Structure 1
Amino acid sequence: MTAATQYDAADPPERPVALADEADLDALVETYDTVLVEFYTEGCSVCASMEPILGIAAQESDAVVATVNPRDDPPLVDRFDVRSVPLLVVFREGEAVERVADGFQPVEDVIDLIERNQ
């Protein structure tokens, strides 16, 4: 199974999706209209504190939510100019449209970020 076929636009995931690499991220954002991706690193306590927030956002919004560790695929660091984590990036119709790199975000702010980009 290729990355391009593992996602089904008719059946979006209701939980955050763990992405393996750049190809996986590209396949996801090409499949769904609105995608929120958290760039994180292992050992980042703020990133870990975002996990329940992302779970709620996945259930309460129309966006697909995903996480990716750019250390697992270094080209992601340059492509998305990752300077700090957590970095939230909203994709709309395959394009990155907004990013937030201000540390912990409450669920209301994350849902607002998604809604203003739909």
Structure 2
Amino acid sequence: MSDSPEKPLRVEDGDELHEVIDDHDLVLVDCYTKGCTLCQAIEPVVGNVARATDATVVMVNPGNDLSLVETYDIRSVPTLLLFEDGDLVGRMADGFQGTDAVVGFVEEAAN
């Protein structure tokens, strides 16, 4: 399935996240926490990425499912994870990044 939504999807836990990863070819996951100012700042950026790339963008709070912290070694937020065909192919955990940087990350990691 390659048609990606125009705006980020929100999922509650690892089960919902893995369903989206299984159902789409290219998935960018935004791991955030409530009250994180950098996470709030990057939210419009990932919205732009959803419109500018073929990636399905998903937002998940790993605090709702701590197994995600362990599984994906999330040490800071925001952390962006890129999956292609179900495999983790990229990680960006450098704090706030602008639209161009994140679009470039998605396009470079997906090639």
TM-score range, shorter chain: over 0.9
Pairs within 5 Å for 1:27-66: 27-66=19-58
Q: Which runs of 4+ in 1 moved over 6 A?
A: none
Question: How far did residue 84 of structure 1 move?
Answer: 0.4
Question: How far did residue 58 of structure 1 move?
Answer: 0.3
TM-score scaled by length of structure 2: 0.95
CA distance in 1, matches of 2:94, 2:80: 9
TM-score scaled by length of structure 1: 0.89
The aligned residue for residue 4 of structure 2 is 12
Question: How far did residue 10 of structure 1 move?
Answer: 6.0
Unmatched runs of 5 consecutive residues or more in structure 2: none
CA distance in 2, matches of 1:12, 1:106: 21
Equivalent AA in structure 2 for residue 87 of structure 1 = T
The aligned residue for residue 97 of structure 2 is 105
Question: How far did residue 11 of structure 1 move?
Answer: 4.5
- Return the match for 1:86 from 73, 78, 91: 78
Equivalent AA in structure 2 for residue 94 of structure 1 = G
Unmatched runs of 5 consecutive residues or more in structure 1: 1-8
Tell me how many residue pairs correspond in the alignment.
110
Question: How far did residue 19 of structure 1 move?
Answer: 1.0
